Amino acid sequence: MRTMPDATRDEAVITALVAALGEKAVLTGAERPARNASDWSTLGPQPALAVVRPTTTEAVAAAMRICAAHGVPVVPQGGLTGLCGGARPLPGAVALSLERMTGIEAIDPASATMTVWAGTPLQVVQEAADAAGFLIPLDLGARGSCAIGGNASTNAGGNRVIRYGMTREMILGLEVVLPDGGIVTTLNRMIKNNAGYDLKHLFIGSEGTLGVITRLVLRLFPKPACTLAALCALPDYASVVGLLAAARRGLGPMLSAFEVMWPDYWETIAMTPGVRVPLPHGHAVYCLIEAQGTDETFDAPRFEAWLEAQAEAGLLADAVLSRSLADVKTFWGVRDACSEFPQVLGPHEPFDIGLPVAAMDEYVRACKAALSQRLPGAFALFYGHIGDGNLHIVAGLKGASPQPKDVIQEVVYGLVREFGGTVSAEHGIGLTKKPWLGHVRSEAEIALMRRLKAAMDPNGVLNPGKVV
C-alpha cells in the first residue's frame, strides 16, 4: 500500500476513476445514493468514498486496477440485501456496485443454460427463465431486490435446497475480476467439465473477498407441472426424523421442501394478524412438506397415498392436505409469517444456524433452557429448513432496550459449537458473524482461508476484513 496522505490519495483515485470510467460512473459527495451505504444487516450506514457503477467487465477491471494502485479498498455491491454486512462499505473504501450491469445475455434451451449479468435482480432472472419455459429454482424473500451476482457470492440458500441445492449447485460458469484487475472468464455451459481446477468454486460463497463476479452461466430446470403440500402436526421429534426419512424414500426427488416449526413458533404465528393457522396448537411439533410433480394425474394420488401411509404408521398427530394452489399458499403463509416478527415480537436477535438433523431437538431444548437461565423471561422461537440441517431462531427479551444481544449470541453459538453445527447455514459471515467463525471452523481451516485470501489479494484491496 502507498502511504500518500488520505485526502490526496482520495482525490487522486477519484480523478483516475472518472478518467477511466466517465463521470456518470463515479458518484461522490452528495451524489452517493443512501442505499449504497449499507445492506440489510443492523450495522447502520457507512458512506463509501465513492460509489462506482461500471457498465462493462472491462470497466470493473479498470476500477479494480486503479483502486489497487492507489491502495484504496474496494467493496463489491449487488442488491445490498445481505444480512451480515458483507457488502457494507468500509471507511475510505470505494463501493463497486454492479447495479448497471444487468440483463440476460443468452438462453440455450438445448443445454438448459442461461448467461446473465451479475447485477440482474433474481426476480428478473426467474421471469426470463419462466418465459423460456424453464425454472430458476433459487428463491428468496428478497427476490425483487437481490442481485444474482450477490446470490452467487453469498451462495444463497432458500426454501428448496433439499431438492435443487444451494446457489453453488445452480452455477456452471462465471466471469470474475480479480483483485489485481485481471479478468478470468469461465463461462462454461456443460454439466461435466473436468479440464483443470474448477475455479468458480473459489468465488461462490466467498462474499466478494476473492474476486468480483461480473457474469454467470446458470443451469435451467424443468418447470414443475404441479405442487402438492401438507401441513402436519407430529407427536414428537423422533416422528419428524421418521417422516423426513419416509419423505425422502417415498417422494424421492419430488420432495421440494421439508420445513419444521416448534410450538412456540406456531403459537406466535397463531396470534399474528392476517395469518390463518390450519391446525390447532398444542402439538409437539409441526411440519410443512411440499412436493413438486410432473403430472398431477399421477402425483396428486401418490402424494395423498403417501401421507395416509404415514398417518397409519403413527407418525402424524394431525394433518391437512392441499387441494389447490391456494391451499399450498396458505400453508406457506404460516411458514413465511416470520417476516412479521418485528411487528409481533418487537426487537429480537435472528439466527441462521445449522446442525446435524438428529441433534436438532436436543439443541432446541438445551438452547431454551440455557436462555431461560441466563435471561429469565427470554423468548425463543425455532423453525427452519430441517431437511437441509438449517435451523432459524429468533430470540429476545421483551421490553429490553437495548436487547441483551451478546448474551443471546453466546448461548446460541456456544451450543452450536457443542453440537457440531455451523454459525451460518445460508446467510454467510460478512462482518457480523466474524467473531463466531472460530466457534465452528478450526485454526487450520481459518489459516487455509487466509492463505487463499493472501494468494488472491496479497495487498488486501478487495473487501478487506470481511469473512476472514
The interface with a second copy within residues 259-318 (CB under 8 A) comprises 292-295, 298-299, 301-302
**CB of residue 421 to a second copy, shortest distance in Å:** 7
C-alpha closest to that of 36 among 72, 87, 84? 87
**CB of residue 236 to a second copy, shortest distance in Å:** 14
**CB of residue 170 to a second copy, shortest distance in Å:** 11
Q: Which of 131, 313, 358, 369 binds a second copy (CB under 8 A)?
A: 358
**CB of residue 237 to a second copy, shortest distance in Å:** 10
Q: Which residue has the cell 467463525?
A: 437
- Report if residue 432 touches a second copy, rule: CB under 8 A: no
**307/130 Cα distance (integer angstroms):** 30
Contacts of 335 (CB under 8 A, 6+ apart): 259, 261, 288, 383
Q: Dig out the grid coordinates for 402 from the structure.
A: 437495548
One-character DSSP codes across 399-424: T-SS--HHHHHHHHHHHHHHTT-BS-
**CB of residue 215 to a second copy, shortest distance in Å:** 14
- Report if residue 335 touches a second copy, rule: CB under 8 A: no
Q: Which of 41, 57, 155, 310 binds a second copy (CB under 8 A)?
A: 155
Q: Which of 289, 370, 395, 425 binds a second copy (CB under 8 A)?
A: 425
Output the CA–CA distances (angstroms, integers) from residue 286 to 332, 382, 452, in the order listed: 13, 11, 43
- Report if residue 241 touches a second copy, rule: CB under 8 A: yes
- Report if residue 361 touches a second copy, rule: CB under 8 A: no
Supply φ then ψ for residue 18, to 5 degrees.
Answer: -65, -40
* Closer of 18 and 183 to a second copy (Cβ): 183
Collapsed DSSP state (helix, strand, coil) of residue 224: coil
Supply φ then ψ for residue 195, to 5 degrees.
Answer: -90, 85
**Which residues inside 167-186 make contact with a second copy, applying CB under 8 A?**
168-169, 178, 182-186
Q: Which of 204, 277, 319, 328 binds a second copy (CB under 8 A)?
A: 204
* Closer of 404 and 430 to a second copy (Cβ): 430
Per DSSP bridges, beta strands 285-293 and 255-261 are antiparallel
- Report if residue 417 touches a second copy, rule: CB under 8 A: no
- Report if residue 79 touches a second copy, rule: CB under 8 A: no
* Closer of 79 and 157 to a second copy (Cβ): 157
Collapsed DSSP state (helix, strand, coil) of residue 331: helix
- Report if residue 50 touches a second copy, rule: CB under 8 A: no
Question: ω before 253 within 30° of 0 (cis)?
Answer: no
**CB of residue 123 to a second copy, shortest distance in Å:** 22
Q: Which of 216, 429, 461, 462 binds a second copy (CB under 8 A)?
A: 429
* Closer of 76 and 396 to a second copy (Cβ): 76
Output the CA–CA distances (angstroms, integers) from residue 284 to 65, 263, 318, 371, in the order listed: 58, 6, 11, 20
Range in contact with a second copy (rule: CB under 8 A) among 38-46, 116-124, 317-325, 438-446: 438-446
* Closer of 78 and 396 to a second copy (Cβ): 78
Contacts of 257 (CB under 8 A, 6+ apart): 159, 160, 162, 163, 229, 288, 289, 290, 385, 387
Q: Which of 17, 161, 315, 397 binds a second copy (CB under 8 A)?
A: 161
Helices in 337-442 by DSSP H: which ranges? 341-345, 360-374, 405-418, 437-440
Q: Which of 28, 159, 206, 432 binds a second copy (CB under 8 A)?
A: 206
Range in contact with a second copy (rule: CB under 8 A) among 18-26, 88-96, 219-227, 280-288: 219-227
**116/123 Cα distance (integer angstroms):** 13
Q: Which of 33, 109, 280, 435 binds a second copy (CB under 8 A)?
A: 109
**10/286 Cα distance (integer angstroms):** 56
Range in contact with a second copy (rule: CB under 8 A) among 10-18, 109-117, 271-279, 403-411: 109-117
Angle between helical axes of 360-374 and 237-251 (0-180°, round to 10): 150
Q: Dig out the grid coordinates for 398 from the structure.
A: 421483551
- Report if residue 365 touches a second copy, rule: CB under 8 A: no
Q: Which of 80, 411, 423, 462 binds a second copy (CB under 8 A)?
A: 423
- Report if residue 445 touches a second copy, rule: CB under 8 A: yes
E strand or H helix that includes residue 249: helix 237-251
Q: x/- contact string, 373-392, with a second copy (CB under 8 A)? A: ------------x-xxxx--
**Which residues inside 184-203 make contact with a second copy, applying CB under 8 A?**
184-186, 188-199, 201-202
Residue type, 343: Q
